[in-house]
Structure 1
Amino acid sequence: MKVSLFTTCLGELFYVDVLKDTTEVLERLGCEVDVPEGQICCGQPSYNSGYKKESIGPAKHMIETFENADYIVSPSGSCTSMFREYPKIFADEPEWAERAKRIAEKTYEFTSFIVNVLGVEDVGAEFHARVTLHTSCHMTRLLGERDSHYRLLSHVKGLELVKLPNNYDCCGFGGTFSVKMTPISEQMVDEKIRHIEETKAEVLVGADASCLMNIGGRMRRLGKPVKVMHIAQILNSHQEEEAAHHANESRKSTVL
């Protein structure tokens, strides 16, 4: 099965390791993964801020870039949901609306693609830690995907999954919202962090880099010890890698 990877802006700039893990998991499951050249921003920041006209150019470019893909997969529910919005953007342009519809129909968020298209729930991962999961707003409310990430994590050997209280609450990022409404955003992410601490989890997992960047950044500023990881990193983990990581951390501690 051929898959074209939609890398996203945050992926290319800050989460290259997540893109690598996403690719390796898909390849291990039998997919042939390519990364189309010419990818740019999907237009979501301007579109969500009410600038529809400014979103049309990037949207058309991305449709042209991915038009020949069999399947489009992204490790971001937020950016995936933007591709699903394209038919609405071009509702008054019949030719582009049809092309946008074809793009939207073959675009999937990473975990949803594994469970609902490949029909896989156990990817053979092993990760020994107490983990809680943040479910992003775009993933659950716009894509309607509420259980694929839970189903995948439930099969990870050694992983203890603890439900996050009020997991349906927004983390306060919301793209430009966190910039325009910073004081409110800060209160929202602080509340999210309090709930994370209630679980006593060692690791916070999510499927949207934007949420993880927001929550992780705030936790670092507050000096919280919880590790933040994308679900692709968990699903690409194995016992040997974890043992090597812990051994390396022990050596660092000894040297220091």
Structure 2
Amino acid sequence: MKVELFIPCFVDQIYPETALNTIRLLEKAGYTVTYNENQTCCGQPAYNAGYWPEAKEIGNKFLQDFGDQNYIVSPSASCVGMVKKGYNDLFTNTTLHNKCRNIQNNIYELSDFLINVAGKTYFGAELEGRAVYHDSCSALRECKIKDEPRMLLEKVHGLELVELKDSDMCCGFGGTFAVKFDSISSAMAQQKVNHAMDVQADFIISTDLSCLLHLQGYIDQQKLPIKCMHIADVLTHGWLETPEF
């Protein structure tokens, strides 16, 4: 009943409360959480930009920072997807091949872990309002996560979950894509937010803070009455005294 916590670099630097809420959820689910303070990046930015030797060097450190016998849980489907898929290009048939495969089999995005490993759906959260869920590209396509976040959100008291039009379409972030093609990226964010506004949503929820950072930037620029929230922050919002599992 022990898990190792993987907190991506941007979560550590920009959204530390989400990291803390991830720990709270895992502990509520009955797990002992360990955190290696030496961990850094998974190598995804370098990998996506085509700098594979540099990504391999960072990935090598990642594989040394984590054990291959425990579950590894992260509040980022994007980074989990990098380990599960991107590391195939970097470490297949290398001296780290076996350890990499073990870690790939043991690493989970938070909602995936809570549903499919811990078997928990209810955490006693309360959040008043209407919400839409955004399927991030990494969660849906790399980690095959679709129903799990919705199952958890449906148990949040006071939250009305409605389906978002084109929920499986990219929000426009895509890492360096948002920098290289900023006008296209902004237009994609606008479309995503407009779909949420069309159903009068108060919240856009996702497993990936990278997507939410991008969407919240557009929302703040346009001064729109809607807020982005990570699923870990939703599931720990307004907690009841004693959640029943």
Deviation for aligned residue 1:196: 1.1
Give the Cα separation in 1 of the matches to 2:209 and 2:101. Answer: 25
**What CA distance in whole angstroms lies between the structure 2 residues aligned with 1:141 and 1:66?**
24
Which entry has the higher C-alpha Rg, 1 or 2? 1
Shift of 1:68: 5.1
1:129-168 to structure 2, matched below 5 A, reads: 129-168=129-168
What corresponds to 1:101 in structure 2? 101
Identity of aligned residues (%): 38
TM-score (normalised: structure 2): 0.94
- Residue equivalent to 1:179: 179
Q: Take 1:3 and 1:240, find their aligned partners in 2: how far apart are those partners?
A: 24
Q: Deviations over 1:180-207 (max 9, x none)?
A: 1111111111111111111101111111
User: How far apart, in 1, do the equivalents of 2:239 and 2:78 lie?
Assistant: 31
Alignment partner, residue 89 of structure 2: 88
Residue 88 (structure 1) shift: 3.1
Could you tell me whether the CA contact under 8 Å between 1:4 and 1:69 is conserved in 2? no
* AA matched with 1:160: E
Confirm or deny: 8 A CA contact 2:73 2:110 kept in the other structure: yes
Give the superposition deviation at 1:92: 3.5
Task: Identify the residue that residue 9 of structure 2 maps to in structure 1.
Answer: 9
Q: Is the 8 A contact 1:43 1:59 kept in 2?
A: yes
Which of the pair has the greater relative contact order for Cα pairs under 8 Å at 6+ separation? 2
Distance 1:52 1:235 in 2: 36
Richer in helix (by share): 1
Name the structure 1 match of 2:50.
50
> Which is further off, 21-30 or 108-117?
21-30
Gap runs ≥5 in structure 1: 242-256
Q: CA RMSD in A?
A: 1.4
Which 4+ stretches in 1 moved above 4 angstroms? Answer: none
TM-score using structure 1 length: 0.90
Q: Deviations over 1:92-111 (max 9, x none)?
A: 31x21111111111000000
Q: Secondary structure at the match of 1:135?
A: coil
Aligned-pair CA distance for 1:172: 0.3
| Separation (CA, whole Å) in 2 of partners of 1:184 and 1:195 | 17
Looking at structure 2, the residues matched to 78 and 68 of structure 1 have their Cα atoms a distance apart, in angstroms, of 20
Residue correspondences, number: 240
- Does 2:128 correspond to 1:128? yes
Deviation at 1:71, TM superposition (A): 0.8
